[in-house]
Amino acid sequence: MPKKLKIALILLLFILLIMSGCGPRTTKPETNEGAAQEEKDKGKKDATSGASMANYTPLEELKDSYDIVIVGAGGAGMSAALEAKAAGMNPVILEKMPVAGGNTSKASSGMNASETKFQKEQGISDRNDLFYEETLKGGHNTNNKDMLRFFVDHSADAIDWLDSIGITLNNITITGGMSEKRTHRPKDGSAVGQYLVTGLLKNVQEQGIPIFVNANVKEITKQDGKANGVKVAFTQHGEKTIAAKSVVITAGGFGANMDIIAQVRPDLEGYVTTNHEGSTGDGISMIEKMGGTTVDMEEIQVHPTVQQENSYLIGEVVRGEGAILINSKGERFINEMAARDSVTAAINKLPEKKAFLVFDSGVRSRATAVEEYVKMGFVKTKDTIEALAGDIGVPADQLHKTLDTWNSAVKNKKDAEFGRKTGMDHDLSAAPYYAIRIGPGIHYTMGGVRINTNTEVLDQNGKPIPGLFAAGEVTGGLHGENRIGGNSVAEIIIFGRQAGIKSSEYVKTAK
């Protein structure tokens, strides 16, 4: 082929490639995670199909004014947007990261809810009152009781709402501090977060709700004491003020902001964090500048089972499906299903401040999140208990004894050593055997801005700041001193929806 023709063909191919990569007026999220999810999603028919191919709204479509501005595209923000749209509003979502999802995409174990249709179908008899009492006990009786009552009473409805928009959480497990199976997750038992974000994003797009990424909200604006918009800095496009009749802050917690953590909890300096990098507490500082107040800021949840080298959370589901924790002597040392603060305290009392999660192939098949941990290279695998003991450096005879004692406890439904009562449906006897080395890590910020059950942000006198709403991890009070695993995903759907509903009512009635 003549050289000139060759060059022309290469040029033509290059132009065609560029054209196919740039759809009209759209941008694509640039993550491998997104691409992997696209592959996984192919062929599925529910709301989670294809949403990871999400195209965010191009900046040219940004308007000067909306009914409602929602800050943060995690689970709370997208739920609020969907309810606002359903109420006839014109909402917009602004997200500072290049992709939607926040900490919500990282959620692994599931979403707690009581008296749900899926529990009933599966013969799990549960009560909202029991869910209330156990959450209160987990929070050491410091939870905001009005918020908690609203939360448990609306949890089943939240599961139904998700199901109605194609996000079905019908596989039920259990987390620490709970006595009933009420942690809802996708049908195949996989991690809840990616599934939820993909499904919510798809709905947001189908409803034509604009969602701008790389949009870092810096300030809430006000007039006559009422929130009336935001100032937002777009990466590479400068700052803009957007007017709104109401502002909803769903910007997440501050688990990745080591400056705030060092201020409120100096003892946690040096801990790893499981949070995504956008969890910097911006929403809290913006709301404080508007006269909002905070609660429980020093209450930071340290998760007991974090793979330290990659700060990667090993979900509670692994213990919920039967794993045990052992120390360097190969002995159990705690009821693994106790609330997170107790398990963390027990690990911190060990001289090495680290422990091993030990489980068998049965746990691996029931907790599909384990596949991810295997892929990441966190999991030691051996065909025998002796070989596993050798690999992780604990005495083989003791590990054998520990597993024998545990398997008898499971068989007799009585853990005489530590009083564990849940996550005991199956023993640990199916080779191969597995171990993951874990230690505690910063995981969740219980504290945040003070709201009421209408998600209105409260000022120092406990009065709502007109036009300002907040929901999700940016708020405090619901969990008190200690959050139960699975309650945050429930919180973001329940109170995220409520923020969408109440901010819409405000817009309709405000003069």
Ligand X SMILES: Cc1cc2nc3c(=O)[nH]c(=O)nc-3n(C[C@H](O)[C@H](O)[C@H](O)COP(=O)(O)OP(=O)(O)OC[C@H]3O[C@@H](n4cnc5c(N)ncnc54)[C@H](O)[C@@H]3O)c2cc1C
Burial class (CB in 10 A: 0-12, 13-18, 19+), 31: middle
Interface mask (CB under 6 A) for ligand X, residues 156-195, using x and -? ------------------------------------x---
Q: Residue from 52, 119, 274, 344 that binds ligand X (CB under 6 A)?
A: 274
CB of 406: closest distance to ligand X in angstroms?
25
Which of positions 298-327 make contact with ligand X (CB under 6 A)? Answer: 313
Decide if 108 contacts 313 (C-beta within 8 A).
yes
CA nearest to 170, candidates 241, 125, 105, 121: 121
Choice from 482, 487, 498, 504 touching ligand X (CB under 6 A): 487
Cβ closest to ligand X, residue 318 vs residue 379: 318
- Judged by CB under 6 A, which of 97, 369, 435, 442 binds ligand X? 97
Cβ closer to ligand X: 97 or 410? 97
Pairing, β 65-71 against β 91-94:
parallel
- Residue among 182, 185, 332, 340 flagged as catalytic: 340
Q: Which of 409, 403, 436 is nearest to 425 (CA)?
A: 409
Query: What is the Cα–Cα distance from 306 to 158, expressed in whole angstroms?
Result: 29
Is 282 or 415 the residue whose CB approaches ligand X more closely? 282
Cβ proximity to ligand X: between 41 and 491 the closer is: 491
Of the candidate residues 70, 82, 91, 96, the single one contacting ligand X (CB under 6 A): 96
In 3D space, the residue among 286, 360, 293 whose CA is nearest the CA of residue 322 turns out to be 360
Q: Is 134 in the site for ligand X (CB under 6 A)?
A: no
Stretch that binds ligand X, among 100-108, 136-144, 257-265, 334-342 (CB under 6 A): 100-108
Q: How far apart are the first and last CA of the chain?
A: 74
Q: What is the DSSP letter of 159?
A: H
Q: How far is the CB of 183 from ligand X (least distance, A)?
A: 8
Instruction: From residue 384, give the alpha-carbon distance in Å to each of 210, 326, 365, 430, 510.
Output: 54, 17, 18, 10, 68
Quickly list DSSP for 162-217: HHHTT----EEE--TT-SS--EEE-TT---HHHHHHHHHHHHHHHTT--EESSEEE
| Contact pick of 37, 48, 62, 72 for ligand X (by CB under 6 A) | 72
For residues 193 and 330, which CB has a smaller minimum distance to ligand X in the complex? 193
Of 234, 250, 257, the residue nearest 200 (C-alpha): 250
Q: How far apart are CA 380 and CA 419, in angstroms?
A: 28
Q: Is 25 a catalytic residue?
A: no
Among 66, 195, 433, 444, binds ligand X (CB under 6 A): 444
Provide the annotated active-site residues.
Answer: 340
Site residues, ligand X (CB under 6 A): 71-77, 94-97, 101-104, 106-111, 192, 215-217, 250-252, 274-275, 278-279, 282-283, 313, 444, 472-473, 485-489, 492
